[in-house]
């Protein structure tokens, strides 16, 4: 069943507006009487479509849905800005795996240099990808794109745990730090996971992050691509905390 995130005002008025109207009419080819899910990230309802017009879809609420599909922790991914369209996939798949926010981080070894004039349009693109992935995976709330940021301008002070996915730790056989942190996580805690770009993390950045309380963690005995590391980390967190 298709799900749509809408704002609280529209949820109260029993209407859907904006780009979702096009999706309902022309992609899903929905008809009056069809059932869909709607949510404002706080409450979720099973609804029945009552009217489809050019710019608006009306619905009637049938029942409230108890959605418990969220990770019990708030996990933010700080991704060293990768080349090509890798960030599209990172935003999409980490959303499916339960991420809270994704940030693209400019780092010393980042290959990509972003034109400042294109930052706003790129951020809108990534936010849209994460909205669509949130709907597809039936999350109870939206994941968000946090922005394109410089490493030393980020405030990491509000996190309970800070994990640095560090290739050199993996090469040296370090395999317990990440597991130990995951086992200690408690419901509602906030976790930052920082992953370097294709070129890795510069020594000075590692030292800086360690001063901020980041723990160097190997993610298994194999060297992962930058776009794979976040999937590994979130999958491991989900396995430990959600599967019984």
Quick one: which of 100, 84, 76 has its CA closest to 191?
76
**In the prediction, which pLDDT does 174 show?**
63
What's the token pair of residue 154? 């980020």
Measure the CA–CA gap between 82 and 227, rounded to whole angstroms: 8
Question: For the chain, which domains are there?
Answer: 3-64 (2.40.240.20), 74-242 (3.40.1280.10)
Contacts of 227 (CB under 8 A, 6+ apart): 82, 86, 89, 90
pLDDT in tens, the chain (244 residues): 999 999 999 999 999 999 999 999 999 999 999 999 999 999 999 999 999 998 999 999 999 999 888 899 999 999 999 988 999 999 999 999 999 999 999 999 888 778 888 889 999 999 999 999 999 999 999 999 999 999 999 999 999 999 999 877 655 666 689 999 999 999 999 999 999 999 889 999 999 999 999 999 988 888 889 999 999 999 999 999 888 7
Q: Computed from CA positions of residues 26, 29, 34, 36, in that sequence, does the dihedral angle turn out positive or negative? A: negative
Measure the CA–CA gap between 212 and 192, rounded to whole angstroms: 12
């Amino acid at each position: 069943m298709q799900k749509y995130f809408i704002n609280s005002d529209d949820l109260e008025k029993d209407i859907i507006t904006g780009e979702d109207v096009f999706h309902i009419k022309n992609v899903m080819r929905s008809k009056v009487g069809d059932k869909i899910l709607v949510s404002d990230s706080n409450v979720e309802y099973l609804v029945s479509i009552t009217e489809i017009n050019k710019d608006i879809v009306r619905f009637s609420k049938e029942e409230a849905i108890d959605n418990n599909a969220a990770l019990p922790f708030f996990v933010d991914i700080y991704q060293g800005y990768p080349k090509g369209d890798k960030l599209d996939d990172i935003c999409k798949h980490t959303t499916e795996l339960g991420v809270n926010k994704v940030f693209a981080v400019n780092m010393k070894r980042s290959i990509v240099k972003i034109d400042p004039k294109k930052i706003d349009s790129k951020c809108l693109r990534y936010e849209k990808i994460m909205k669509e992935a949130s709907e597809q995976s039936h999350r109870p709330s939206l994941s968000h794109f946090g922005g394109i940021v410089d490493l030393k301008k980020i405030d990491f002070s509000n996190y309970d745990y800070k994990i640095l996915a560090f290739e050199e730790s993996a090469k040296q056989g370090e395999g317990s730090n990440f597991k130990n942190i995951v086992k200690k996580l408690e419901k509602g805690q906030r976790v930052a996971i920082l992953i370097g770009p294709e070129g890795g993390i510069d020594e000075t950045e590692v030292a800086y992050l360690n001063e901020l309380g980041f723990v160097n963690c190997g993610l298994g005995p194999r060297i992962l691509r930058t776009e794979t590391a976040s999937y590994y980390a979130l999958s491991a967190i989900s396995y430990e905390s959600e599967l019984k």
